[in-house]
Chain A
Amino acid sequence: MRALAYIALLCLALATPLAPLTAAGQDKDEEIAALRRELENMRKTMSTLAERLQALEAQPAPAPAGQAASGQAPSGQPYVGDVAQAPPGSAPPSMMDLARPREPFALYRQRGAGQLLFDMGVTGDFIANLTQRNVDKANAGTFADRENRFFPREIELSFFGQIDPYARAEVRVEAGEENQGEINLKLAEANLTLMTLPFGTQLKLGQMRNRFGLLNEIHEHDRPQIDTPNVLVRFLGEEGLVERGAEAVWVPQLPFYIQLIAGVFDGDNETLFGRGKISEPLVTGRVRTFFDFDEFGAVQLGASVASGPNADRQQTTVLGVDAKYKYKPENWLHPLITVGGEWLYLWKPFTTEGVDDNGDGIIDHPAENRTRHKQGWYAWVDVQPWRRWLFGVRYDWTEFPDARGREWAIGPYVTFMPSEFLRFRLGYKHTERDKRDLFGDNGGSARIVDEILLQATFILGAHPAHPF
């Protein structure tokens, strides 16, 4: 027993000085483990950062300043990103903000001088038409003075985008053949829209296609048929209403959609107005509303008015109502049926000439001011059973605003779209007028017009979508 006691004492004596050494060893192990863990965490962080760097390098543009960039978890790794703080001062612009001078230079510095900050696109629209010789001679076809020709109707160069956080702008320059062999270059549109005005209003300033009716605001290459409906050409001219001035838009915050537009313009349209003075303006208005029948059918209804003085300062007014319906079956990428139409009513004052009944040099019936009441309408239906093919027909009926007489026309057409950027249309149009001498250039005449029309349209670059 004594021997055992000595051994125990010896062990205790040896263990006492070794105890701190053992504790130190355990501390070192823990330290090494902690270092390993930290190293592992750093490795993971490095790996994530490398992936994020790779992602950022792959992106063509840097993320906007002030926006948080959060990491994404690569496959099999935990997500390490965190939520960034909200950028300070990101409140809606106040009236004072709007009044202060703008400083877009930060954007310029951020993106560099070589990068465009807006979109641009080119659209080409070519037309061919074949018709009778007498129609050609009298310039009485749908494309007057370009009968039996293949011509560029509209080659459009467009630029559009944000000016700054408060406004956007669009500029469109177009060239096209308006008379046989003559290519005219002109400014089609150039305007800016203030987007952050109070009460949900916007203000568009500059030269623009007026929002009057269904088709006036749409450029010719984007319209549903090759040609513009007859009533629009007869009442508003081949160009339609393209005016300089300002247009205010209000979309009230309601459970249904209604858009109210009011505009004040120079009134340069020579076919209907022509005074050309903002002091005696052309005033326009439009109301547009929209209803979803169900998930797949929807209708848009609109009413428009334009009233202004003509070159003789007589007040001319045109009123229009329009409707458009689309049916798109479930999971279809395009509508199956589209139906649309527009009706216009015109009050056009004119001054009669004085009449000398018996030739005695005395005017028996003095000149007087009268008003012509004219109307016209069109309606079309499109059926698109396949994505690339569309079949349609349009019917036109209109009176002539400056002469007695009327015309009607019917035009079936077929459209082939290899892609959304390329389109071909082939159409036939039969027109009948109740008078032979309404078009009489070069001593010709044409009461009945038959035409074969072909359209080829392409889009290069950006092209904004059109609503409904």
Chain B
Amino acid sequence: MRRFSVPILLLLVTLGALAAPGRAADKVRVVATTTDLKALTEAVGGDLVEVDALARGNQNPHDLEVRPSLMVKVRRADLIVMNGLELDQWAEVVIQGANNPKLVPGAPGRVDASEGILVLEVPTTRVDRSMGDIHPVGNPHYTTDPGMAPAITANILNGLVRVAPQGRPAFEKNRQAFLAKLEQAEAGWVAAMAPLKGTKVIVDHNMWVYFLTRFGLVQAASIEERPGIPATPTHVAKVIQLIKDERIRAIMTLPWGDAKLAARIAEEGGAKVVPMAPGVGGAKGTSGYIDTVDYNVKMLAQALK
């Protein structure tokens, strides 16, 4: 073993030297688990932050493969913004593998963006896995609703201030500017969706309840009979019948959903498939948070005309 000791020592010294320089700029390094949270963090942080997302916009954030390349991003971060509500539990494994003491549970470099959110679909009865991959603390897809942005950005602001208190005035200013812009855009979305209030839609995964509630639409059924479990033929037949009976016109789909099945149901029932952007970057032209909501509103409004 002694013959190996010199190369091992050299390797350790080299790595130590490479690791030492640390950060290039004074920006706060932030990692967000989803692209929505990345966009909202950028909106608050502005030029003072450098934000990376762990999941892509068209990726299923429930079930991300924990790659060591994600740990590289987390290893260097000062702050991690997490969706919470058990959507991104895989991030804990990434944090553990990254050996970054600033982000371990209880550390100030963690932001749970769901704090203070009015959570929908919180089970009120006993739940177990016979119900599928159910979220026992409620539906975690609150970032689809632009009305949640004030609360989310408030949580992000608090986190940023914890790690970079000197940036508070700039963060607050950025946040107010973003919320003003969002409010302006929201007026247009509300107007576009107003004639569709009460309209029923089908979803492939139970992800749009916050978005639909915001604009007064109703989710009639989900192609997934139970979350995370593929639909049975009986359930598919029921959904098709429901579309016919209720004259439902739109099936909102996700990039990772079963596109063939959605297309078949739409064809047999006489509805349209509406490919939605589940997050920022989840479809063409959705590079920012406002763009993404705008895309989803337009896609749905157009399909339901």
User: Residues of A at under 8 Å CB distance from B?
Assistant: 51-52, 54-55, 58-60, 63, 67-75, 79, 81-84, 86-87, 90-93, 162, 164-166, 168, 193, 195-198, 200-202, 249-260, 285, 288-292, 295, 298, 300, 305, 307, 317, 326, 328, 330-333, 335, 387-388, 419-421, 464-468
Contact: A467 with B56, CB < 8 Å? no
Q: In the complex, what distance in Å separates the CA atom of A151 from the CA atom of B175? A: 60
Cβ contact within 8 Å between B108 and A90: yes
CB atoms of A68 and B158 under 8 A apart: yes
The answer to whether residues A69 and B97 also contact, given A162-B105, A252-B16, A252-B19 and a CB cut-off of 8 A, is no
**A70 adjacent to B154 (CB under 8 Å):** yes
Tell me if B104 and A251 are in contact (CB < 8 A): no
**Which B residues are CB-close (under 8 A) to A257?**
68-69, 71-72, 75
Name B's A-contacting residues (CB within 8 A).
1, 4, 8, 12, 15-16, 18-19, 22, 56, 58-60, 63, 65-69, 71-72, 75-76, 89-90, 92-94, 96-102, 104-109, 112, 115-119, 122, 124, 129, 132-133, 136-138, 147-148, 150-151, 154-155, 157-158, 161-162, 165, 172, 175, 179, 213-214, 216, 228-230, 255-256
19 of the cross-chain contacts (CB-CB < 8 Å) are A60-B136, A72-B117, A72-B118, A73-B148, A74-B147, A79-B147, A82-B154, A83-B172, A84-B154, A92-B109, A166-B106, A168-B96, A195-B101, A200-B99, A257-B68, A298-B67, A332-B256, A387-B230, A420-B228
Is the beta-carbon distance between A251 and B101 smaller than 8 angstroms? no
Question: For the complex, what is the distance from the CA of A193 to the CA of B106, rounded to whole Å?
Answer: 15
Given the known inter-chain contacts A58-B138, A387-B230, A468-B68, please indicate yes or no for A165 contacting B106, CB distance below 8 A: yes
Chain B residues whose CB sits within 8 angstroms of the CB of A202 once the complex forms: 99
Name the residue on A nearest B155 (C-beta): A70
On whether A253 and B67 interact (CB within 8 A), knowing A70-B155, A82-B154, A465-B93, the answer reads no
B107 engages A165 (CB within 8 Å): yes
3 nearest A-B pairs in the assembled complex, by CB-CB distance: A165-B106, A70-B154, A290-B68
Contact between A467 and B154, CB atoms less than 8 A apart:
no
Shortest B230–chain A CB gap in Å is 7
Residue of B nearest to A69 (CB): B116
User: Quick check: B147 and A73 within 8 Å, CB to CB?
Assistant: yes
Write out the residue numbers on chain B whose beta carbons fall within 8 Å of the beta carbon of A330.
Answer: 58
- Whether B75 contacts A467 by the Cβ 8 Å rule is no
A68 touches B69 (CB 8 A): no
Neighbouring B residues of A335 by C-beta, 8 Å: 65
Q: Closest B-chain residue to A63, C-beta based?
A: B115
List A contacts of B96 (CB < 8 A).
168, 193, 195
Contact check: which of B12, B63, B93, B98 meets A464 at CB < 8 Å?
B93
A75 partner, pick from B68, B172, B213, beta carbons under 8 A: B213
| A-B pair number, CB within 8 angstroms | 205
A72 touches B147 (CB 8 A): yes
- Bound-state CA distance A332–B258 (Å) is 10
A83 B158 Cβ-Cβ under 8 A: yes
CB-contact partner of B116 in A71, A86, A90, A328, under 8 A: A71
Q: Which residues of A contact B147 (CB under 8 A)?
A: 72-75, 79
Known: A68-B154, A91-B108, A468-B65. A252 touches B102 (CB 8 A): no
- The minimal Cβ–Cβ distance linking B216 to chain A, given in whole angstroms, is 7
**CB-nearest residue of chain B relative to A462?**
B89
Report B-chain residues with C-beta under 8 Å of the C-beta of A387. 230
Q: Tell me whether A72 and B255 are in contact in the complex, defined as CB-CB below 8 angstroms, given that A255-B72, A419-B229 are known contacts.
A: no
Complexed CA–CA distance, A301 and B79 (Å): 29
**Measured between alpha carbons, how far is A257 from B179 in the docked complex, in Å?**
37
Alpha-carbon gap, A397 to B138, bound state (A): 50
Chain A CB within 10 A, most for which of B16, B96, B112, B172:
B96
> CB distance B18 to A251 under 8 Å?
no
Q: How far is the CA of A158 from the CA of B90 in the complex (A)?
A: 18
* Contact of A72 with B116 at beta-carbon distance under 8 Å, contacts A162-B105, A196-B104 already known: yes
A195 to B99, CA, bound (A): 7
Which of A79, A82, A250 counts the most B-chain CB atoms under 10 A from its CB? A79
Name which of A69, A73, A335, A466 has the most chain B CB atoms within 10 A of its CB: A73
Q: B98–A251 contact, CB under 8 A?
A: yes
A70 to B118, CA, bound (A): 10
Residues B93 and A290 in contact, CB atoms below 8 Å apart: no
Query: How far is B162's CA from A86's CA once the two chains are assembled, in angstroms?
Result: 6
B90 cross-chain contacts in A, Cβ below 8 A: 465
A92 to B93, CA, bound (A): 20
Contact, CB under 8 Å: A83 / B154: yes
Complex alpha-carbon distance, A427 and B155, angstroms: 51
A260–B107 contact, CB under 8 A?
Answer: no
Of chain B, the residue at the smallest CB distance from A257 is B68
Tell me the bound Cα distance from A375 to B147 in angstroms: 62
> Which B residues touch A259, using CB under 8 A?
68, 97
- Determine how close the nearest CB of chain B comes to the CB of A296; give it in whole angstroms: 11
Residues on the B chain within 8 Å of A250, using CB: 99
Contacts of A333 in B (CB 8 A): 60, 63, 256
**B66 pairs with A468, CB closer than 8 A:** yes
B104 touches A195 (CB 8 A): yes
* Chain B residue with Cβ nearest A197: B101
Closest residue of A by beta carbon distance from B15: A252
B186 to chain A, nearest CB (A): 10
A55–B16 Cα gap in the complex (Å)? 48
What is the minimal beta-carbon distance from B52 to any residue of chain A, in angstroms? 13
Inter-chain CA distance A292–B31, complex, in Å, is 18
Which of the residues B119, B158, B255 comes within 8 Å of A59, measured between beta carbons? B119
Q: Which of B59, B118, B148, B172 has the most CB of A within 10 A?
A: B118
Query: Cβ of B137 and Cβ of A60 under 8 Å apart?
Result: yes
Nearest CB in chain A: distance from B107 CB, A = 7
Given contacts A93-B107, A168-B96, 7 further A-B contacts (CB under 8 A): A72-B117, A74-B118, A83-B175, A86-B165, A92-B107, A195-B99, A288-B68
Q: Which residues of B contact A55 (CB under 8 A)?
A: 116-119
> Which A residues are in CB contact (< 8 Å) with B98?
251
| Chain B hits for A75, CB < 8 A | 147, 213-214, 216
